[in-house]
Amino acid sequence: MTEITVIRDVETIVAYDPDGDRQVYLHGGDVAFDETGLICVGTRFEGQATTELSGKARMVMPGLIDIHCHSHDEPMAKSIFEDVGTAALWGQAMYEYSGVIDGGEDARAACLTVMLGDLMRSGATTILDIAGANDIWLDIAAQSGARAYLAPGFRQADWVVSDSHRLDFEWNDKAGRDAFARALDFAERARAHPSGRLDGVISPSQVETCRPDLLVDAAEEARNRSMLITVHTAQTMAEHEELLRRTGLTGVQYLEQLGVLGPDVILGHCIFADHHSWTRQRTRNDLVTLADRGTTVAHCPVTFARSGMALETLGAYRRAGVNVAIGTDSYPFNMLEEMRQALICSRLGGKSVFDINTADIFDAATLAGAKALGRDDIGRLSVGAKADLLVIDLDAPTMRPVYDPLRSLLHCAAERAVERVYVDGRLTVNQGKPTQLDYDGAVREMQALQDWACSRAGTYDPRGRNIDELAPKSLPVLER
Ligand SMILES: [Zn+2]
């Protein structure tokens, strides 16, 4: 007999209204599901259930879709480089600093475990992770219980900032081609995984670190396999300037010229398009092109806002008809906090409370994410959809008082009110703790890994600076 869970008399259900293709509130009624999907949403469930739970003071809502994150070394980079940047590269820290913290292969499992745990605790049930291909990736992603799109990155050039002001590219075309071949193989293995919850994504890492022929070949191979394509594009001003120098085009124009754009493409970040005030372009075509092609933008506001950069604006992209989904990029891997920041950054950039509203952000993290993945069975609660859902405790102090539960959740409570998370009807987070992962163990392991990586940072820095010089502490240490 299949295991059926029913949540009775739910105070608030966030349900999908197919007539309006929109999310709506329902008050009262049951939510029932098994491993194959949702059986009942908002009506009375008359069948036999193996598990029966009360929906009193609970909100049941669809699981969230994180369209862009990085496991690899990112989770262990926390609290090191938040206050640095390369002034001549528009303040961006990534080129000069991200390569000096290298946890090695031993760090992969802990980093992935912490990232998945943090994302699921904050309501993400589907994630798209871009990282280096690694055997344990499939195992841990499957074990976590999450629905995971794994995107092994490949590229032909490494970034080098040897003098803290000039970005150079060290090309190795053959190594990039070899990594592409391995990525295709890995993506096929992800798709074939017996869990049925994994898939592969074809991911040239950055638009400026791959030759044009590799970008074209990657898109063709992805389309032959009916796989998605994701590539960082228009993510920094340094990249924008480099592409202008090489081609005279913005990142969006360049990919359009190569024939890469389409509804199966997710562009990482896509901030510095031709309308952005920093790029000072004389055209206003990029958002029109993205909307025409049905290409998705993966919007990850937190890591960029930390460096003083913002998309202009999420509300404007949506009004232009661009499908924008939400990603978390790097730590803190908190999906609900990311959504809050997306809303705040959009209103700050648009200088208006009317630039975007709570429902728009919720749509971006659910229906728009599903659209990006080409799916109509996730990001929504409706009979027949996957049983990927969250149970929110309306009695959590951070939620009360509740007039509008999604507003309490997004503007105040975030993961502190996430009580249970289900993916494919299986409980993956209970009382805020991942059930399938050794999350606490991985968090403990992370400290030793970070200490070790910090002690070796100087060996990866072209200028040989040690970690104290690279990342001075936020307060001076008083010697006593
Ligand atoms: Zn990224």
> How does DSSP assign 275-314, residue by residue?
TSTTT--S---HHHHHHHHTPEEEE-HHHHHHTT---S-H
Pairing label, strands 265-269, 228-233 = parallel
Pairing label, strands 167-171, 198-204 = unpaired
Which DSSP category does 14 fall into? E
Report the CATH superfamily, name and number, of domain 5-62+382-434: Urease, subunit C, domain 1 (2.30.40.10)
Q: Quick check: helix, strand or coil at residue 319?
A: helix
What is the 129 CA–ligand 1 centroid distance (Å)?
9
What is the 143 CA–ligand 1 centroid distance (Å)?
24
Burial (CB < 10 A; 0-12, 13-18, 19+), residue 472, is exposed
Burial (CB < 10 A; 0-12, 13-18, 19+), residue 57, is middle
What is the 299 CA–ligand 1 centroid distance (Å)?
10
What is the 21 CA–ligand 1 centroid distance (Å)?
29
What is the 177 CA–ligand 1 centroid distance (Å)?
21
Q: Which amino acid is at 117?
A: G
Architecture in CATH of 72-372? Alpha-Beta Barrel (3.20)
What is the 333 CA–ligand 1 centroid distance (Å)?
12
Burial (CB < 10 A; 0-12, 13-18, 19+), residue 382, is middle
For 85, 240, 253, 369, the CA distances from 231, given in Å and listed in that order, are 23, 14, 14, 16
State CA 377 to chain mean position distance: 19
CA distance 101 to 82: 13
CA angle 99, 102, 103 (to 5 degrees): 160
CA distance 198 to 283: 40
CA distance 360 to 354: 11
What is the 264 CA–ligand 1 centroid distance (Å)?
17
Q: What is the pLDDT of residues 79-127, one digit of tens each?
A: 999 999 999 999 999 999 988 998 888 899 999 999 999 999 999 999 9
What is the 463 CA–ligand 1 centroid distance (Å)?
25
Helices within 320-399 (DSSP H only): 335-350, 358-365, 367-372
Q: Quote the pLDDT of residue 1.
A: 61
How is the chain split into domains, by residue range? Answer: 5-62+382-434, 72-372
E strand map for 132-241: 147-154, 157-161, 167-171, 198-204, 228-233
Q: Quote the pLDDT of residue 106.
A: 82
Do 5 and 51 form a contact (C-beta atoms < 8 A)?
yes
Shared fold status for 5-62+382-434 and 72-372: no
Structure tokens given for 80: 């090191």
Which stretches of the chain drop beneath a pLDDT of 50?
none
What is the 433 CA–ligand 1 centroid distance (Å)?
26
What is the 411 CA–ligand 1 centroid distance (Å)?
25
